[in-house]
Amino acid sequence: MEKIKTSLRESATARWIALALISITMFFAYFFVDVAAPLQSLLERSYGWSPETFGMLGGSEFFLNVFAFFLIFSGIILDKMGIRFTILTAGISMVAGASIKYYALTEGFAASGLAATLDSFWTTVPATAKLAFFGFAIFGVGVEMAGITVSKAIVKWFKGRELALAMGLEMATARLGVFAVFRLSPIFAESGGVSNSILWGVAFLVIGLLTFLVYTFMDARLDKEIGADATSEPEEAFRISDIWLILKNPGFLAIAGLCVLFYSAIFPFQKFATDMLASKLDISIKDAAAMFSYFPIGAMVLTPFIGAFLDKKGLGATMMLYGAILLTVSHLIFALVPAEAFTNLVAYATIVVLGLAFSLVPASMWPSVPKIVEDRFLGSAYGLIFWIQNIGLLAVPILIGWALSAANPGVADAIAAGESVKYDYTVPELIFAGFGVLAMILSLVLKAVDKNKGFGLDLPNKK
């Protein structure tokens, strides 16, 4: 009997090894994204950064992606040049940008002529912050490029198989990076200041670049087996004009809108959550960071199970609605429960509920994209969604930093003077809850579009 030749992705072992390699890099990438998040007060005291400056640091990660359209270009590059070229470009960009951010917070930079030059303009923002913004923007290009490339790579290996489970496991690994940063970053800072935490983040990214490199060898072998070539175009090649076809798709627009609303209430919140908990519970920054570190643990544990459920049973659009409801409830608790009733138990319970929301929506959202767009412009579709998401992730941290200062007049000056005062986070939390309400509405719109267009978002992923 003639032996049937199968490709590498038919091997379950090979599929999961490929997933592990790219997931490890995303673990380190997510670690660096929030490496400064538990250190807001330390940056305020050691470097003179105000809440607005700290908010601008969070927004700077997305500046080039939004205003220079790098994310859209990343999607086009991915569809034109292939996974291997794009994933290595992303890894190198992350390491380069992270290194610049590290240098910005060192004594060597503070004594340099560059620091003096940067201090000569935009005098309300320290030179350290300006260079850190620049480095973080370059890192942001790399990490978002990596995100869309990893998504397409997982579809390549798992479509028609355990797609949602695979995406869930990748996201769970990335969430573990968030847990690690809230545990480790304050410890690194204790032994060497903020710059030491950043340096560890750079070292982790170098390891991540190496795992990306190893993955490219597996990807090359798979392409050879299935007759693909990294530089060859598919049978029906992607065209720039196809971007208009993506934007005309009501399902795509609904998912993209839900994405920006949901993530705007999660990632910017992570950057302020440590100080919020420390202020509301009157505990140390280290204890608050340790408490909030359990948020990604819930998402990490639950996301793969939710992914497996979606593969076998479906209900993707419904899960997004449930996630938006839980998101809204969590932020309303943070905003409206008075400090005397906001005990450690209430804090932990709310963090768990928010973690559950963080499991439901991403685990449902990303495997839904291949159901609404063609494979030939899947990379560009992910790029557009991430670009729209990045608009929110750029603007919201700046908005929250401004709202925090406006709602707490004089507090920043008092902290800078060494006084022991706390911020009131009621207004920022109400803003986050507002994003949740809008996400709930858009989830209902998405369900209606799915019913009308027949995308099958509530159908199982596994064929």
Exposed / middle / buried, residue 3 (Cβ in 10 Å: 0-12, 13-18, 19+): exposed
Nearest to 434 by CA among 269, 225, 200, 248: 269
Question: Rounded to 10 degrees, what is the CA torsion of 278, 284, 290, 293?
Answer: 30
The SS3 of residue 159 is coil
Whole-number mean pLDDT of the chain?
A: 88
Alpha helices in 120-162 (DSSP H): 127-158
CA distance 287 to 332: 23
Please determine, for residue 303, whether its predicted confidence score (pLDDT) is greater than 80: no
Measure CA 391 to chain center: 13
Domains, the chain, in order of start with CATH, read: 10-453 (1.20.1250.20)
User: What burial letters (b/e) apply to 206-241, b meaning 16+ CB within 10 Å?
Assistant: eebbebbeebbebbbebbeeeeeeeeeeeeeebeee
Look up the pTM and report it.
Answer: 0.76
Higher pLDDT, 443 or 286: 443
pLDDT per residue over 191-241, tens digit each? 888 999 999 999 999 999 999 999 999 999 998 887 754 444 444 555 666
Q: What is the DSSP letter of 84?
A: H
C-alpha dist (Å) from residue 459 to 156, 269, 315, 375, 379: 20, 32, 6, 19, 23
**pLDDT value of position 5:** 45
Region 254-272: what's the mean pLDDT?
91
Q: Which amino acid is at 1?
A: M
Ranking 153-157, 251-255, 384-388, 432-436 by mean pLDDT, the lowest is 384-388
| Residue owning tokens 């709930």 | 440
Helix pair 378-407, 426-453: axis angle to 10 deg? 150
- Cβ contacts of 169 within 8 Å, gap of 6 or more: 19, 23, 303, 304, 307
Backbone phi and psi for residue 338, each to the nearest 5 degrees, phi listed first: -65, 155
Mean pLDDT along residues 263-278: 91
Percent of the chain with pLDDT over 90: 47
